[in-house]
């Protein structure tokens, strides 16, 4: 407490005493027991009142100890089983949990990781991907500003994510790898990577790129073949040695039939090769007989144009051309869909042509749009014509039911810029995204779709959508989610299929190491999303004829089911509504491929590098005798005594206010009782 405050308190006591004595001694001109009692009560009341006005602050210091955390992160992927280390891992985890000395020194936190990181429940070693980079990124946030060494139990073979050696340095914690494997090198042939497009076009040839690697010292000969069913469609003899230990093959295959075509690429194994699973890789190509050509018509240059082109062309079924109004009119029959970017009077003939042909369109409006022209050239909606601009953030309409959309974390997206004012629609429309100004949620459409006379249209009331694609990449480290969102809009506009009450979203084939997710939407008779319906999916394996039934779980504005546990094979399915006689059927294929079985050894070099960069030691799973001892004796992981200072103002003490009221009330009551009032 400051000296100045103490002086104020002393002065308050003197003033309170003088006032009390003046009232009941000087002014009363006699001394009695009652007057002394009244003077004491008056002193208490005045002193407490002045004390509350001064409101001194008191500091309270609490001391406590904080133990360091020991983060035990366990690789729960299938590669652990492939390397026959699952029993060792279970034994090590059990010994850590049962060690009393570790529990006394550390707060033990157990996690398992594969493609995602989760608090440890049980270890099944069934994860299809390993993302150590993501685990490090999450640990760097969870244990920021704490002492939390990380015990990383893994083989170090990452199948997804950025290089974890660099992300480990950002954790700012010692990382102690327990390496699930050894340093023995085996002779091995392996298909390192296979690149192929997802789609091909009928009567064309599609390119395939294969990277084959060899690990060994001897000279060997082998043969690379690609088969489709029982037919060999490509083959090539290959030779490898210690110096020439990799080959890159580029070739083309014919697309002669429409539909999903399955292929198997294989490098024939050599004698006594330990791991032959990584010698082959299945892949598929969906052959289609036409390509959707999209025209982006613009009279200005803008970054949005490139964004639309890149996003739409991420699907090989689509090709985008950026053209001027005049160029479009000369080749309009080449396009199945038109995007009109910020139209002006130069688009007059384009609008007339589109109206005459009942063509589907995607209209994008912004600050360079001529709204007077827009209002005159079409009758679907009217936009207020003002010179002022405004920035609008997207707000997802969860009741949108034209097709299935995912929430891309739109609240994190930067605002789009457009003309200030509202759009008044004269026809029924569905809002996908509403406008949001700051924290104010409006019911005005930012992105809407509608159908008139079998013609489908979409309108985006804002420019700078290139910022959305960039933000989506920052959020997810990939453009895929935004591109899929844009792809669904294009797919809706490029199709003329009638609206159904049950829509199912699925892929024609899935890679064996990817998640198999089937989504569905169900609408009532008014085409409003029905969240009360119970949907089930009936799955049948075409080869084994086995059937399974799974419920679809409501998630956001759609129903979902995860079929990732199904084995590779060819499947037919039917999604049925329980309460109504409505169903939708389809087929898909799951390709056989387990990326976690492609490794022969642990990645010892990288894990030792992680330990070195974070000033820690690495251990092999077969030799962890000193691990617990090292953790207990490391002086960096000592318990820390900390203090917290809590400053409490006197006015927060409610008992003082109660005492003040009590003293005033008691003085008044006694004076009243003695007839002095």
Query: Do residue 101 and residue 25 come from a single domain?
Result: no
Read off the tokens for 190.
């392996």
426 Cβ contact partners less than 8 Å away, ≥ 6 residues apart: 379, 380, 381, 382
Query: Do residue 606 and residue 658 come from a single domain?
Result: no
643 part of a folded domain: no
517 part of a folded domain: yes
User: Phi and psi of 260, rounded to 5°?
Assistant: -80, 120
Query: Do residue 512 and residue 404 come from a single domain?
Result: no
List the CATH number of the domain containing 463.
3.40.50
Read off the tokens for 440.
């104010």
| 540-576 pLDDT per residue, tens | 999 889 999 999 999 877 899 999 888 888 899 999 9
Query: Do residue 105 and residue 40 come from a single domain?
Result: no
Query: Do residue 175 and residue 313 come from a single domain?
Result: no
Read off the tokens for 259.
């539909």
pLDDT at 60 over 90: no
Q: Where is the domain boundary, 465, 494, 523?
A: 494
List the CATH number of the domain containing 553.
2.60.40.2950
Query: Do residue 17 and residue 54 come from a single domain?
Result: yes
Give pLDDT, residue 526.
64
| 101-138 pLDDT per residue, tens | 999 999 999 999 988 899 998 888 888 889 999 999 99
Query: Do residue 161 and residue 77 come from a single domain?
Result: yes
Query: Do residue 52 and residue 192 come from a single domain?
Result: no
How far apart, in whole angstroms, are the C-alpha atoms of residue 448 and residue 458?
6
Read off the tokens for 186.
């085996």
628 part of a folded domain: yes
pLDDT at 40 over 80: yes
Task: Tell me, rounded to whole angstroms, the distance of Cα 343 from its chain centroid.
Answer: 35
653 part of a folded domain: yes
Query: Do residue 299 and residue 157 come from a single domain?
Result: no
| 379-433 pLDDT per residue, tens | 889 988 888 888 899 998 887 877 778 888 898 999 999 888 888 898 888 899 9
644 part of a folded domain: no
325 part of a folded domain: yes
How many distinct structural domains can be found in the chain?
5
pTM above 0.85, yes or no: no
The full DSSP string for 358-373 is T--EEEEE-TT--HHH
Give the residue numbers spanning the domain of 444. Answer: 292-494
| 159-192 pLDDT per residue, tens | 888 889 998 988 989 999 999 977 777 788 988 8
Contact 536, 557 (CB under 8 A): no
| 594-627 pLDDT per residue, tens | 676 677 778 888 999 999 999 999 999 888 888 9
- HSE-up of 171 (CA within 13 Å, CB side)? 32
Q: What confidence tier does 29 reach under pLDDT thresholds 50, 70, 90?
A: low
Q: Where is the domain boundary, 494, 519, 536?
A: 494
147 Cβ contact partners less than 8 Å away, ≥ 6 residues apart: 68, 69, 173, 636, 637, 640
- Supply the mean pLDDT for the chain: 86
3-state secondary structure of 89: helix
What is the chain's length?
677
pLDDT at 298 over 90: yes
Read off the tokens for 264.
């198997």
Over range 266-275, report the average pLDDT. 86
Query: Do residue 480 and residue 337 come from a single domain?
Result: yes
Query: Do residue 9 and residue 153 come from a single domain?
Result: no
pLDDT at 93 over 70: yes
108 part of a folded domain: yes
Query: Do residue 90 and residue 176 come from a single domain?
Result: yes
465 part of a folded domain: yes
Residue 295: closest CA among 365, 361, 364: 361
List the CATH number of the domain containing 96.
3.40.50.410
Q: Where is the domain boundary, 246, 261, 288?
A: 288
**SS3 of 92-113:** HHHHHHHCHHHHHHCEEEEEEE
């Amino acid at each position: 407490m400051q000296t100045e405050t103490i002086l104020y308190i002393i002065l308050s006591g003197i003033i309170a005493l003088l006032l009390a004595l003046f009232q009941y001694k000087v002014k009363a001109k006699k001394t009695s027991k009652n007057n002394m009692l009244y003077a004491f009560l008056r002193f208490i009341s005045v002193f407490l009142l002045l004390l509350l006005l001064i409101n001194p602050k008191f500091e309270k210091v609490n001391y406590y100890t904080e133990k360091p955390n020991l983060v035990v992160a366990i690789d729960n992927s299938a590669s652990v089983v492939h390397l026959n280390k699952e029993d060792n891992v279970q034994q090590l985890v059990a010994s850590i949990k049962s060690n009393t000395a570790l529990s006394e020194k550390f707060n033990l936190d157990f996690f398992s990781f594969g493609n995602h990181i989760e608090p440890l429940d049980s270890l099944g070693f069934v994860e299809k991907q390993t993302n150590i980079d993501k685990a490090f990124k999450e640990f760097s946030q969870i244990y920021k500003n704490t002492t939390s060494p990380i015990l990383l139990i893994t083989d170090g073979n990452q199948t997804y994510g950025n290089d974890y050696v660099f992300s480990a340095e950002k954790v700012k914690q010692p990382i102690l790898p327990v390496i699930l494997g050894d340093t023995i090198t085996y002779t091995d042939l392996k298909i390192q990577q296979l690149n192929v497009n997802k789609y091909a076009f009928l009567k064309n040839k599609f390119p395939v790129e294969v990277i084959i690697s060899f690990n060994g010292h001897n000279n060997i000969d082998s043969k690379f073949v690609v088969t489709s069913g029982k037919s060999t469609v490509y083959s090539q003899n290959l030779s490898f040695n210690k110096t020439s230990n990799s080959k890159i093959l580029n070739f083309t295959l014919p697309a002669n039939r429409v539909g999903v075509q399955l292929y198997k690429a294989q490098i024939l194994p050599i004698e006594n090769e330990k791991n032959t699973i990584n010698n082959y890789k299945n892949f598929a190509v969906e052959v289609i007989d036409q390509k959707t050509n999209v025209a982006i018509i613009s009279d200005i240059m803008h970054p949005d144009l490139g964004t639309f082109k890149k996003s739409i062309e991420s699907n090989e079924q689509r090709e985008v051309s950026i053209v001027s109004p005049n160029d479009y009119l000369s080749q309009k029959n080449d396009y199945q869909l038109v995007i009109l970017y910020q139209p002006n009077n130069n688009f007059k003939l384009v609008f007339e042509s589109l109206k005459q042909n009942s063509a589907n369109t995607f209209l994008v409006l912004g600050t360079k749009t001529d709204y007077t022209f827009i209002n005159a050239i079409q009758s679907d909606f009217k936009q207020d014509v003002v010179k002022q601009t405004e920035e609008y953030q997207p707000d997802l309409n969860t009741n949108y039911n034209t097709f299935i959309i995912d929430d891309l974390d739109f609240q994190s997206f930067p605002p789009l810029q457009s003309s200030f004012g509202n759009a008044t629609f004269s026809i029924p429309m569905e809002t996908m995204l509403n406008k949001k100004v700051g924290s104010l949620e409006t019911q005005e459409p930012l992105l809407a779709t509608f159908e008139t006379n079998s013609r489908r249209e979409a309108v985006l009331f804002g420019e700078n959508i290139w910022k959305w694609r960039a933000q989506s990449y920052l959020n997810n480290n990939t453009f895929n989610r935004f591109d899929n969102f844009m792809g669904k809009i294009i797919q809706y506009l490029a199709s003329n299929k009638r609206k159904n009450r049950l829509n199912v979203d699925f892929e024609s084939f899935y890679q064996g190491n990817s998640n198999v997710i089937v989504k569905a939407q169900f609408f009532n008779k008014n085409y409003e999303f029905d969240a009360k319906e119970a949907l089930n999916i009936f799955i049948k394996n075409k080869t084994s004829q086995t059937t399974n039934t799974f419920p679809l779980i409501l998630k956001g504005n759609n129903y979902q089911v995860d079929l990732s546990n199904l084995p590779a094979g060819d499947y037919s399915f039917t999604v049925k509504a329980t309460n109504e006689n409505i169903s939708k059927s389809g087929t898909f294929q799951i390709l056989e491929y387990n990326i976690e079985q492609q490794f022969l050894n642990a990645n010892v070099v990288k894990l030792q590098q992680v330990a070195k960069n974070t000033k820690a030691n690495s251990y092999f799973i077969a030799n962890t005798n000193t691990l617990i001892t090292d953790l207990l004796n490391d002086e960096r992981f000592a318990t820390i005594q900390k203090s917290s200072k809590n400053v409490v103002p006197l006015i927060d003490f409610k008992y003082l206010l109660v005492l003040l009221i009590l003293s005033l009330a008691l003085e008044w009551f006694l004076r009243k009782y003695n007839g002095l009032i």
